Each structure stands twice: as structure tokens, then as C-alpha cells.
Structure 1
Amino acid sequence: MTTTQSVPLCHLHNYARSPDPSNPGNRANVLMLHGHGQSMDIFYHKTHFLQDALNMGGSQPSQSLPNLNVYYSEAPFEVNTGLGSKVWGYGLFDTQPVWGLEQSVGRVLRQLEQLNPVVGIIGFSTGATLAMIIASLLEKKDRCRLFGVNTTHPPLKFVVAYSGFMLGHPMYTELYEPAIRTPVLLYIGELDPMIPPATSYRLAERCSHAEIRTFWGTHYVPRHGKTTMVAINFVRRCVNGEIQTENADEAQAEDGWIDAFVNGSDAAAYR
């Protein structure tokens, strides 16, 4: 059984301008998981606006976030040698067993132990799927035997999943039954050709607290300011223990922001 030992820093990076790990203070850590064929560098360049927004703490200064350190993780398997593209596993995630997934799960769990505490994970596509797997394992640690791993890290407070989906092979059914309890915010691109919306909705059905936000776009992390603020306020509510007391008016306003998200040139720029 894999144990949770230290992880080489080359697989885990904090891109903050002036990180000070020797003085953690009132801090918490967030892990970022990239999608298929990306890397931590590529994912950072596509999502650094999220790190900036997390540092701002959301739209309610009286209930701000703690100091969040954002770390980017990198998948263990390389594709397109020379281009730095990495993957978390191989195979058809919706129908087949995923080769290499055990190594990826083990790497992320070791990183959680190294950074402990990690309050939440933000992932895109296969990275979002892996984030939900990790949330499931931390809730019911006996599920870890599916991957031959072990961990003592406490459950996550949240997952933000952009274009996430659930694994479809029967060997993974236990991950989603009973339903995952960790609060999750699911972003769904209404025009996504790679992860059809119905696939993400199936994941939502296996979560006991899933908030869904759609945007008029394809397979990418949307970066419209109001769209981003939905994620930041979700993180704030989860970290501050307010997830069960969401203000209905605020939720309605956030829905309006998502409906107003533009596509076209914006979508092409941020894929």
C-alpha cells in the first residue's frame, strides 16, 4: 500500500510573487489540478486570475477569506514529448478503467499531506474529475483501497470543478455511492464539445451539495469577472462555514451573472 511521503517540489509549485512558507500565519492551502494534455505552467497561465481573486477575498470584506496559498500540481505522465504536456491517466474515462490513475491519486494525496492543511481543490476537466475522486477518498478513507493508497488528511471543505465528470466504469462506482458530501461548485460550458453538459450533470447527481453554474462557452475555464466572483464567494462560504446559509438573493444575482457571460472572442482567447 502506498504511503504518503514527501513529494518533489518539481511536481508542486506556488507561483505567488513572494511566498513565505516559513511564516504560515493564518493561512490555508488550495490545490490546482490541470486538465488532460496541460501542465502546471500552462494551467497557471490560464487561471492566474483565480489566484489574484482568491487573494482579494471575495465581495464581502466583513467575511473575508483567510490567507490562501495556491499550489499547482502536475500530472505524472507525459504526452507530446518536448511540449510539456501531462496527463493523469490513459483510457476512456467514461467507460474504461483508467491506466495510471493509481499513481496520480497517490501523488495528489502525498501532496495534500505535504501541504496539510489543504482546504479545497480547484480542477479543470480530468483535473476536476480527479479532485472529486480525492474528495470522495478523504470522506470515506476505506475507499482508498481502490487505488492502493492511504492518507490521514481531513476531508476537503470544497471543490470547484470546471467541466468535471464522473468515471463510468463499474469498478469506480463506490467512489460515488453514497453521494459525495464535500460541497462542489460545478461550472458547465453549454457548448462544450469535449465534456457534454449531460456528463457534468450526472456528476452533480452523485453529490449531496452541488451548486451548478453554466456559461455560454466551450471547454475552458471562464474568466469573466462576475463569473470568477461566483467561485470566490463559494470558496469564502465554504472556508468560513457558511455553505448551508447562502443568501437567496445573492445566489439569484450570481445566476444572472453567469447568464450574461459572453462568448465569441472571449471564448477563443481563454481556451
Structure 2
Amino acid sequence: MAEARPLRLLALHGYRQSARRLRQRTGALRKALRGRAELVAIDAPHPLPAGADDDPDGDDPPRGGWAGLEESLSAVAAALAEHGPFDGLLGFSQGATLAAMVCALRARGDPRFPVTFAVLVAGFASRAPAHGHFYREPIALPTLHIVGDTDAVIAAPLSRELARCFVEPVVLTHPGGHFIPAAAAQKKAYLEFLERFWPGQGQ
């Protein structure tokens, strides 16, 4: 019998980052998941000019952000269609906020987003009144939420608040700050969550 393929996750970067920068940030995670899951990062559709607001993620040079919700959702839908199939999403910071909105749409049956789970790192719920409908009902899509206890960019309570928007979220807390952790304890949690979606495991 042929070996089952690794899971594929579409990865969404944070504010003023890029796909290249996210690949750098996830080097340890990709190594930990080798043979089990593959991360495919895409660029946000909104380049930011040099000299824009200070970068909260400490990234240089700036690339872009997920501003303009409909255009951002269309970019995610296009990537899922053009580079798929994908099993899930991985979002970091602002990318996790967008991924959570995609989860909400998927849970409502939106055919543009054929994913079955998401890993949300340092995410937060949008405060924009126009986005309130995404969180009005519990989001019935499996999620793993990564929360940094000393995150000075997205405070831990904000990430926990986002987790509470989901049905039965899995929450992993780590002692670090605003980054994607991949030490032994986190690797174990990632694998335990992802193994639910490997072929033959079922939901």
C-alpha cells in the first residue's frame, strides 16, 4: 500500500511580513513536521510602502498585510484552488485572524474554502464592527491555538478570546513571546492535533 501523503497547510503570514519571512519563521516547525505535514506560504495581496508604520513583528523589509477583507479572502480562495488540495490552514498573528474568518465561512458551508482544520498562532479576533458576524456563532471547525504567555504584540488574553469563538478548541500555551514555537513540548501538541486528520484517522 502506498504511503499516505503528508497533510498540506496553507500558511498566512503576519502584518508587514511575507511568504519568505514566514518560511524562515517556521523552519523549526517544518523540520518537526517533516513527512507528516507540509506548509505552503503565500504573500498577502497588499504591499506596504517603505516607511509605513513601525513593524510590530520586527520584520525587515516590509512586504504586506491582509488589509481589505474581500481581497484577502479572494487571495486565500485563489491559493486554495490554484495550489491545492490543502487540508488545513496555519495563520500567524494577523494571518491567524484572517484564517479564523476563513474557518467561520467554511463552517457555514462556503465552497471557496475546502479546509478541515486550522492552526492559529498568536491570533486575535478583529475588533472591526463589520467583522462581528464572523464570531456571532461558535465556529464548528477544529482548531489548535498557540498562545505565548509573554507575547508583547498579541497579548495572551486576546488569543484565548479568539479560541473561545470556536467549538472545542485545543489551546497550547508556551512561555515565549511573538513567534511560532517548535520545541519538544510544542512538537508533541502539533502532532497530536494533526494526527486526527491523517488519512485513515477520520473525525
Same fold (TM over 0.5): yes
1:49 Cα deviation after fit:
2.4
Whole-Å separation in 1 of the counterparts to 2:171 and 2:83: 28
1:34 aligns with 2:13: yes
Q: Give the corresponding residue for 2:161.
A: 202
Determine if the alignment matches structure 1 residue 133 to structure 2 residue 111: no
1:185 maps to which residue? 144
Identity of aligned residues (%): 29
Q: Secondary structure of 2:33's partner?
A: helix
Q: CA contact under 8 A between 1:119 and 1:239: conserved in structure 2?
A: no
Q: 1:178 to 1:124 in 2, by over 3 A?
A: same
The TM-score normalised by the length of structure 1 is 0.64
- The answer for unaligned runs of 5 or more in structure 1 is 1-24, 58-67, 90-99, 143-150, 245-271
* C-alpha distance 215-152 of structure 1, shift in aligned 2 (>3 A): closer
Once the two structures are superposed, the pairs formed by residues 1-271 of structure 1 within 5 Å of their partners are 26=5, 28-57=7-36, 68-81=37-50, 83-89=61-67, 100-141=68-109, 151-154=111-114, 156-240=115-199
Partner amino acid, structure 1, of 2:76: V
Larger relative helix fraction: 1
Q: 1:103 offset after TM fit, Å?
A: 1.0
Q: What number of residue pairs does the alignment pair up? A: 191
Q: Structure 2: any 5+ residue segments left out of the alignment?
A: 51-59
Residue-by-residue CA offset, 1:248-267 (whole Å, 9 max, x unaligned):
xxxxxxxxxxxxxxxxxxxx
CA spacing shift, 1:223–1:179, aligned 2, 3 Å: same
Q: In 2, are the aligned partners of 1:109 and 1:134 still within 8 Å (CA)? A: no
Larger Rg: 1
Q: Which amino acid in the other structure matches residue 38 of structure 1?
A: Q
Are the aligned partners of 1:29 and 1:115 in contact in 2 as well (CA < 8 Å)? no
Q: Does structure 2 conserve the Cα–Cα contact (< 8 Å) formed by 1:128 and 1:164?
A: yes
Tell whether the 8 Å contact from 1:166 to 1:199 is kept in structure 2 after alignment. yes
Distance 1:214 1:171 in 2: 30
